[in-house]
Amino acid sequence: MIKVIRDLLRFDGRFRVAFVFLLAVFTLGLLSLVSPYDPTRTFLVPADLPPSSKFLFGTSSRGQDIFWWMAFAVRNSILLGLLTALVSRVIAIAVGLTAGYRGGLIDRILMSINDSFVVMPVLPILILLSFLLRGQMTMLMLVLIMGLFGWPWDARLIRAQVLSLKERPFTRTAVYSGTNPVAITLNEHLPFVLPVVFATTINNLLWAIGMEVTLSVLGLSNVTLPTIGTTIFWANQHQALVAGIWWWLAAPVVVAIILFLGLYLLFSSINEYIDPRTRLRLIGG
């Protein structure tokens, strides 16, 4: 693992940039553990102060140090994204592999469910759900709901991959080696599917964070929980832009951009690295 990171750092410019970006963002997130301020409390510091050496990101109209608030925001946003990605990955892999390998009725049933989810307009439904659950919207609920919408596209991708892998001679070899279908799926097909899974994970992560930002800006998630989105929400609530308190909006936006860019660059460099074809070139094929 260390060797992989070392190789990537040495040879891939994208990975270097991604590494720096993400390191910065994650460090910010980790700093939340040593924050001198409790993010649920307001008016702890003088309000509306621009960025200075004392308050790195300035302060908000609610009397909060934006720097430390962002530490929590980043941590929560990333956690949210990761959990959503995890939930939808698990569903997508399970559905994709099963539908692809089993085929027949199981495939048709799973794909109908899949397609229903694909067709449903996600944002309006999420808005509706969030509105209905306003009072009880916790991070967990948000994760589950978003996870439920994040798997269909990817399940289809995985299924398509499995369909083609099924036809390849080595699947037959595995069958005649007496391997049972589940083992075939996991041992023979999954390694080919993993690059797809990885690509879609990052994609899903980006989607989840973005979706959370959208919902929060609209005030539909738990607004007392600091996230990148709720920061923008509060800033809008206090008409930060009009009042000239640009740093309150700049902070979440810039952090979001760095996070997204970092994730994207990470995705494209690792994706190339774990692509079976690159792996073959590396081993010397």
Partner 1 sequence: MSESVKLLDVQHVTMEFHIGGLLGGTRLVAVNDVTFSLERDKPEIFTIAGESGSGKTTLSRLLLRDLEPTRGRVLFEGRDLSHIRHRSEFKEFMKHVQPVFQNPFETFSPLRRVEDYLFDTAVNFGIAPTRRKAAPAVEEVLSQVGLSLAEVSKRYPHELSGGQIQRVSVARALISRPRLILADEPVSMVDASLRMEIVNLFRKLRDEQQVSILYITHDLATAYYISDRIAIMLRGYVVETGLVEEVLNDPLHPYTQLLKESVPKPTPKERNTWARHIELGATEVKEYGRVGCKFAGRCPHVMKICREVDPPDFVVGERAVKCYLYADKTALVEPELAAPA
Partner 2 sequence: MSLLCVKNLRAYYKTEVYGISRTVRAVDDVSFELQPNEIYGVAGESSCGKTTLIKVISSTIKPPLKVYGGSVTYNLGRQFEVDMLKISPEELRRNVRWKEISYVMQGSMSVLNPVRQIVKTFEDIVETYQGIPDKKAFREQIINHLKQLGLPQDVLKAYPHQLSGGMRQRVAIALATVFHPSLIIADEPTTALDVVVQRGVLQMLKDIQAQSHNTVLLVTHDMAVHANVADRVMIMYAGRITEEASTEIIFNAPRHPYTQHLIRSLPMIGDRSNKASLKGSPPNLANPPSGCRFHPRCPLAFDLCRTDIPDMIDLGKGHRVACHLVREGT
Rounded Cα–Cα distance for residues 115 and 107 (Å): 12
Choice between 104 and 169, CB closer to partner 1: 169
Buried b (16+ CB within 10 A) or exposed e, 199-218: bbbbbbbbbbbbbbbbbbbb
Q: Is 118 in contact with 209 (CB distance < 8 Å)?
A: no
From partner 1, partner 2, none, interface partner of 11 (C-beta below 5 to 8 A by class): partner 2
Rounded Cα–Cα distance for residues 174 and 170 (Å): 6
From partner 2, partner 1, none, interface partner of 282 (C-beta below 5 to 8 A by class): partner 2
From partner 1, partner 2, none, interface partner of 273 (C-beta below 5 to 8 A by class): partner 2
Tell me the HSE value of 219 on the side-chain side, using a 13 A CA sphere.
4
Choice between 10 and 135, CB closer to partner 2: 10
From partner 2, partner 1, none, interface partner of 37 (C-beta below 5 to 8 A by class): none
Q: Is 200 in contact with 92 (CB distance < 8 Å)?
A: yes
Minimum separation from the CB atom of position 179 to partner 1 (A): 6
The radius of gyration of the chain from alpha carbons, rounded to an integer in Å, stands at: 22
From partner 2, partner 1, none, interface partner of 179 (C-beta below 5 to 8 A by class): partner 1
Interacting residues toward partner 1 by CB under 8 A: 168-170, 172-174, 176-180, 187-188, 191-192, 276, 279-280, 283-285
Which residues, at least 6 apart from 57, have a Cβ–Cβ distance to it below 8 Å? 51, 65, 66, 67, 70, 247, 251
Minimum separation from the CB atom of position 87 to partner 2 (A): 33
Interacting residues toward partner 2 by CB under 8 A: 7-8, 10-12, 273, 278, 281-282, 284
At residue 144, what is the residue type?
A: L
Minimum separation from the CB atom of position 169 to partner 1 (A): 4
Minimum separation from the CB atom of position 11 to partner 2 (A): 5
Minimum separation from the CB atom of position 166 to partner 2 (A): 24
Choice between 6 and 168, CB closer to partner 1: 168
From partner 1, partner 2, none, interface partner of 35 (C-beta below 5 to 8 A by class): none
Rounded Cα–Cα distance for residues 177 and 119 (Å): 41
Rounded Cα–Cα distance for residues 193 and 164 (Å): 11
Choice between 57 and 273, CB closer to partner 2: 273
Choice between 128 and 280, CB closer to partner 2: 280
CA separation, residue 41 to residues 56, 65, 252 (Å): 19, 11, 19
